[in-house]
Amino acid sequence: MMFDTFPASTEVRKVGRTDDWTHALKKAFREAERSVQRLRASRQARVISKAIRSQSRSDLRVAIRIDGGIGDHVVAVRFLRDLLAEIGPLALDIYSTKKGAAAWLFGSLDASVRWFDEWMLWDRVYKAYPLSLYLTQFVEVPDDIADWRRLADASPKLFEISQNIVKFRPRIDACIIQHPDLDGQLGRIATSMGLDRRTFLQGMANIRYGGDSLPIEVDGGALRKFGLLDRPFVTIHNGFDPEFKKHSQESTKVYPRFDEVVRAIKNEFPEFLVVQIGTVTSKRIDAADIDLIGATNLKELAAIIARSVLNIDNESGIVHLARCFDVPSCVVFGPTSLEYFSYPGNINVAPPVCGGCWWVNKTWMTQCAKGYAQPPCMALQPPEAVVEALRGHLRLASQRLAAGSNHG
């Protein structure tokens, strides 16, 4: 009996030691990799800071930090577009957590723009600039390090707008300090002032909102590539911010009955293809005609959305992107605020119960704030209500399609 158990226990110890060594080696490798990244970032930061400080006082280059998803970047681009409309030409250095997406979106700006990876760089360089702006749910100006005299001399209008932002801060100071934990309160403050996610940054700066449309570059060959050329279609999306996927495979923002919605649409409007779009957080909708989850790059995705008759969605970044092309979305709202996040040109479906609980706690995005296994705001939304909300839009689109065919 002792002979039988001895080899097994020895093997267990060997496996355990191997696992320990593997874990230790992986940890050491990660630490070494981070050390190299920190060294590179430090060197790059010194080069950037030296170049900024050596500029003449009349040459302004402003640092812009942006975080969040595609929707947050779209809102930030609109703000900078409107800022440039007020002050004229300005050089911008964009520091983003999504450098590739930022380069694509901010390419629509009529400005001298450079793009940098925010990670490890921002904290090392932002103090070198005469002005730094942090764009998220709000605009923040680190006023203690801004070169106000230089701003006043080089761009009086930029000085005035920056001062507007600083003066606005006391109204939302707690929300800024506790960001993102008090973002829900921030949304309530914004809507009480007649503002929303689209317009709040402009409201803080006291500049005019220039509209939802943006001249974003698209891939002209995308429709042909995916078999959508000259075929009328609607898009549907059920994904959420990939950052939250680290914590959960599910999100309270996602409407769980889109498959039934799609079946009803195909039954009533068979002339429209249903194309599912999305990335790693999207789940396949079986009733959709074409599945493009993970199949498109950003420019291809934009080209498809731009030609869509309607985008069907939960509240997401793609809704913001669609409005750049004047494409309406039918948005099924749940935990996020309809009043704050909705676009006037969209079909906004209010939750049948609850709703609006975003950031009442830190886990609202992945767990129902009331403790239900399925958030009632989404689970109790009848597919028929969603179809009824979008029916009028698709009916008009169908009539236009038929009229065009008859005319041809």
Which domains does the chain show, CATH number per domain? 61-205 (no CATH), 222-407 (3.40.50.2000)
Cα torsion angle, 213, 214, 220, 225, sign = negative
Q: What is the pLDDT of residue 22?
A: 81
Q: At a CB cut-off of 8 Å and minimum separation 6, what does 318 contact?
A: 70, 71, 237, 239, 277, 278, 301, 305, 311, 329
End-to-end C-alpha distance for the chain, whole angstroms: 89
> What does the pLDDT average to over 70-92?
97
> What does the pLDDT average to over 275-283?
94
Q: At a CB cut-off of 8 Å and minimum separation 6, what does 320 contact?
A: 70, 71, 74, 75
CA count, 13 A, side-chain hemisphere, 162? 26
Percentage of residues of the chain with pLDDT beyond 70: 92
- Residue 277: name the closest of 258, 295, 299, 259 by CA: 295
Q: At a CB cut-off of 8 Å and minimum separation 6, what does 28 contact?
A: none
What's the pTM? 0.90
Other beta carbons within 10 angstroms of residue 265's beta carbon come to: 24
Answer whether residue 317 shows pLDDT above 50: yes
Q: At a CB cut-off of 8 Å and minimum separation 6, what does 279 contact?
A: 239, 242, 293, 294
Question: Quick one: DSSP state of residue 225?
Answer: H
The residue with tokens 């039934």 is 260
Q: What tens digit of pLDDT does each residue of 226-257 get?
A: 999 999 999 999 998 766 544 556 899 999 99
Answer whether residue 9 shows pLDDT above 60: no
Asked if 206 and 161 touch (Cβ cutoff 8 Å), the reply is yes
Q: What is the pLDDT of residue 20?
A: 78
The structure tokens listed for 337 are 């605020």
Q: What is the pLDDT of residue 242?
A: 67
> What does the pLDDT average to over 79-90?
98
CA distance 26 to 189: 47
Answer whether residue 7 shows pLDDT above 50: no
Which band of pLDDT confidence, cut at 50, 70 and 90, is reported for residue 161?
very high
Asked if 91 and 62 touch (Cβ cutoff 8 Å), the reply is yes
Answer whether residue 15 shows pLDDT above 60: no
Report the DSSP pairing between strands 329-332 and 311-314: parallel
> What does the pLDDT average to over 383-400?
98
Asked if 164 and 189 touch (Cβ cutoff 8 Å), the reply is no
CA distance 190 to 223: 39
Q: What is the pLDDT of residue 272?
A: 99
Task: Output the CA–CA distances (angstroms, integers) from residue 371 to 89, 189, 236, in the order listed.
Answer: 51, 27, 28
Answer whether residue 190 shows pLDDT above 90: yes
Which band of pLDDT confidence, cut at 50, 70 and 90, is reported for residue 16?
low
Task: Output the CA–CA distances (angstroms, integers) from residue 49 to 42, 60, 102, 274, in the order listed.
Answer: 10, 13, 21, 50
Q: What is the pLDDT of residue 406?
A: 62
